[in-house]
Amino acid sequence: MNDMKKYLMLDRRLLSPQAMENVRMEVSRPVKDAAHNPLFTQDQPWEVRIDNGYPNVLYDEEAGLYRCYYTLFIEDEDSRLADRRERSRRDYIPRPDRAPGLAYAQSRDGIHWEKPSLGRVQWNGSAQNNIIFAYAHGTGVMIDQRDPDKSRRYKMVTKMDQPGTQAYMAVSFSTDGLDWCDPIPWPEYNPPADSHNLPFWDEEQNCYALLSRIWKDGIRITTLSRCKDFLHWSEPQETLRGSGFENQIYAMPAFRWGNLYLGLASMIHEGDRLSENFDCVDLELTWAADPAKFDFVAAGQHLIQRGAGVYPDGDFDCGCIYASPPVTSPDGKMWVYYMGSNGRHTNWRDGALGRAEWKPDKFAALTPRQPERDSVVATCRLRVSGEKLEILADVVENAGEYKLEAELSPFWNSRPFDGFSYGDSRVEQNAGGWWSVRFAGGLEQLAGEKVSLKLRLRNVKLWALRGDVEMAEHRLWEGAQ
């Protein structure tokens, strides 16, 4: 099974939009860990304001540890001095001398976290704290198993921003994720990058890539840079923007999943102080085949719902949500860790780490618009190479009668091959949510052919397909001769 090609339904290259009937894309929300959230809060004196946090939660298999690297403000006089009574009378006023930093926490089980004393940074005359760097802002961290140099196993990109000095981009390296070398300034370029700077490995280009942020046309823009050595980064280029002031991308860490990149875009809402969502931050799902060009999976649909209430008594995540790329735990579960805060972005708020469980491959589904009617989905042309074909699908909750039928034809709007019509198909549900698709003619009889798979369904939602098929061409095929 492992050598079969797999395609998520959220990959628009897979679909023939002219053939689709009665379906819409819906994101699947990870389920919050209500029994344990929040996992840790800003409970140390140097954690004056966690703010956005920009969490990087990684699982170190060798150490058997979850590691969390998070941004915070270690100096912020307005947050430190204003008690709850004063905060109720006025808004937060960020001072120009507030200072960011990078802190660290670790956990054996992903639930119970400790903030070890690292002895690296002096704060109020003591180095007994969990601060890795003072003045580091928007830090992104990755574990790199490709680099033969073990002293560079852990890599970070950060903005060094000491009040009263020129801010600059920098990288750092570590063997164990705790003892880091002094930040090394970028030789070229100094983008604003005042957000989550998330490095990762670009499979297609065989190089490092960095998702960051600039300002352009009066709004926040997500950018991509690339490099071979993790130091000489290219000039940031736009990869995605939101819509107007109301839906801007504040940060967008991403992760590789199969043949795609999936992004977790924190969307800030500005432009109308009277709006209920003004200055709050929601999470949306994005996708890309090439990280140079992302798009929204289902614009406006929130991936992790903010909690109830408002500052200061609302849920820990009622105001803003900033996510880390998902982590797969040793038991195979997929967790999205995120920093939530209980107030609006530019006002008073406290930050805390939470998590939510996501089902692998079940990130977004084609779902019926009208449950009482049949739906139709057709793929681009797929090249057949064998006998296996499976659909990852679920019956819609609280649905009545359901069905899932398949047929294969040369094109989505042509007659099916003999022996491969809806009436010739047999679709059976297997373990793990995958449904096997078989035809009277036997799929292997079409080996070498280009086919369009058509699915007719009722009260079923579609997540993915896999099998002895490979995407061959679609109506906007970039590689067409």
Q: Structure pTM? A: 0.95
Q: pLDDT tens for residues 394-434?
A: 999 887 889 999 999 999 999 999 999 999 999 999 988 99
User: 8-38 burial by CB neighbour count: b if 16+ within 10 A, else e?
Assistant: bbbbebbbbeebeebbebebbbbebbeeebb
The whole-angstrom separation of Cα 226 and Cα 236 is 8
**Which DSSP state fits 77?**
H
Residue 480 banded pLDDT, cuts 50, 70, 90: very low
pLDDT at 475 over 80: no
Q: Six-digit token pair at 134?
A: 């003072």
Q: How many CA within 13 A on the CB side of residue 87?
A: 17
The whole-angstrom separation of Cα 40 and Cα 36 is 10
**Interval 452-456 mean pLDDT:** 98
State the DSSP string of 313-346: TS-TTSSEEEEPPPEE-TTS-EEEEEEEESS-TT
State the DSSP string of 138-195: EEEEEE-SS-S-GGGSEEEEEEE--TTS--EEEEEEESSSSSBPPPEE-SS------S
Secondary-structure class of domain 5-27+364-473 per CATH: mainly beta
Q: pLDDT tens for residues 242-271?
A: 999 999 999 999 999 999 999 999 999 999
Contact 321, 283 (CB under 8 A): yes
Contact 194, 209 (CB under 8 A): no
The pairs formed by 273-278 with CB atoms below 8 angstroms and a separation of 24 or more are 275/246, 278/344
Instruction: List the beta strands (DSSP E) in 186-292.
Output: 198-202, 207-216, 219-227, 237-241, 248-251, 254-257, 260-268, 281-288
- The per-residue pLDDT for 481 is 41
**Shortest CA distance to 389 belongs to which of 333, 329, 332, 453?**
453
pLDDT at 479 over 70: no
Under 8 Å CB-to-CB from 224, ≥6 apart: which residues? 209, 210, 211, 212, 236, 237, 239, 291, 292
Under 8 Å CB-to-CB from 111, ≥6 apart: which residues? 33, 36, 39
pLDDT at 9 over 90: yes
Q: Six-digit token pair at 127?
A: 């180095």
The whole-angstrom separation of Cα 317 and Cα 304 is 10
The domain defined by 31-358 folds into Tachylectin-2; Chain A (2.115.10)
Q: Phi/psi at 317 (nearest 5 deg)?
A: -120, 30
Contact 350, 79 (CB under 8 A): no
- The per-residue pLDDT for 3 is 75
The whole-angstrom separation of Cα 416 and Cα 345 is 55
Q: Phi/psi at 188 (nearest 5 deg)?
A: -130, 155
User: 52-81 burial by CB neighbour count: b if 16+ within 10 A, else e?
Assistant: bbbbbbbbeeeeebbbbbbbbbbbbebbee
- The per-residue pLDDT for 371 is 86
Residue 1 banded pLDDT, cuts 50, 70, 90: very low
Domain ranges across the chain: 5-27+364-473, 31-358
Q: pLDDT tens for residues 171-204?
A: 999 999 999 999 999 999 999 999 999 999 999 9
Q: pLDDT tens for residues 304-348?
A: 999 999 999 999 999 999 999 999 999 999 999 999 999 999 999
Q: Phi/psi at 424 (nearest 5 deg)?
A: -90, -5
Residue 2 banded pLDDT, cuts 50, 70, 90: low
- Decide: helix, strand or coil at residue 275: coil
**Which DSSP state fits 447?**
T
Q: pLDDT tens for residues 76-119?
A: 999 999 999 999 999 999 999 999 999 999 999 999 999 999 99
Instruction: Quote the mean pLDDT of the chain.
Output: 96
**Shortest CA distance to 351 belongs to which of 60, 37, 63?**
37
